[in-house]
Amino acid sequence: MSENLQPDRLLRDLACSITMLLKYAKISLDDVNAAFKEAYESVHQPDAEQAPLEDELPVMQVQYLTTLITAWRGSPEFTDDRGQPLELPLHGNHPSIESLIARLSASGRLPDSDISIENVGKRFIKHRTTELTDDRRHRLIDLVFRIKLASGAAALMYINYVLGLASTCAHNIYKGQGGRSQFVSHTTRFPVSRIPLLCRMLEEEGMNFLVRMDEHTAEYQLAKSDQSEKTSCVGIGIYLTEEPE
């Protein structure tokens, strides 16, 4: 992820995918430049609203923490008889967050990062991924690590999500049959009052699906040292869009 989330590479890849779509939509480069110039000037107005940057979380740490959560909730050694994540102390003998990190490091599944075990615990608490029990164990309260504070890393990850969608659309429109999986549900004139309920449904059912997909991809993920076959970075996303009328 660290390599893919370099700003210059993101910009180049996103431009290529969007340019492919614009070509088929017969939208000119002049129109694109004008639209981007207008949007850029609007966003950078002195009175433009934006969330303050509260947490400059390095991109490498995002992938590191995400990998930990996936292994925590998907490994039998770190779940109970019902398959629920165990409450883990930060340090100590197995099972603990320290032993989880050691296990993943030994298998080559953890990305390189200089984050300390203490900071892992602080990040989990700060982004409301875990909560501390009375005996100082971490209880997992979110099934994925989600950046809940405005940061440069969050912006880069969201751009990467847009790139993923744009590249799939561009690939499918260029290749036609035999393209990548792409499913969309779209409804017009949906009552605004029911959107919170829709979000709750998506949060529950969509998250359960993503957890299964995440555990499947993690099971077959090759260590960096394993060069036995060609690999690719794959992503599966679920999101809700809203366009007020």
Domain assignment present for residue 27? The answer is no
The residue with tokens 């099972």 is 95
Domain assignment present for residue 81? The answer is yes
- For residues 96 and 78, the answer to whether their CB atoms sit within 8 Å is no
Domain assignment present for residue 117? The answer is yes
Domain assignment present for residue 133? The answer is yes
* Angle, helix 152-175 to helix 59-74, in steps of 10 degrees: 80
Record the tokens describing residue 230, joined without a space.
């060609």
Q: Output the pLDDT for position 134.
A: 93
- Structural domain count of the chain: 1
Residues contacting residue 87 through CB under 8 Å, at least 6 positions apart: 133, 137, 138, 139, 140
Tell me which residue range forms the domain holding 80: 59-140
Dist. CA 81–CA 98, nearest whole Å: 22
User: pTM of the predicted model, to two decimals?
Assistant: 0.64
Closest CA to 13 of 26, 25, 4, 24: 4
Q: Output the pLDDT for position 55.
A: 54
pLDDT in tens, 15-30: 888 888 888 899 988 9
pLDDT in tens, 214-234: 778 777 877 777 788 888 878
pLDDT in tens, 154-199: 777 778 888 888 888 888 887 766 678 888 888 888 899 999 898 8
Domain assignment present for residue 74? The answer is yes
Dist. CA 208–CA 194, nearest whole Å: 21
Closest CA to 120 of 98, 102, 143, 141: 98
Backbone angles phi and psi of 43, in degrees to 5: -65, -30
96: left (phi over 0), alpha (psi -120 to 50) or beta: beta
Residue 2's pLDDT band, with cuts at 50, 70 and 90, is very low
Domain assignment present for residue 120? The answer is yes
Domain assignment present for residue 146? The answer is no
* Whole-number average pLDDT of the chain: 81
pLDDT in tens, 112-165: 677 788 988 988 998 888 999 999 999 998 877 776 665 676 777 778 888 888
Domain assignment present for residue 217? The answer is no
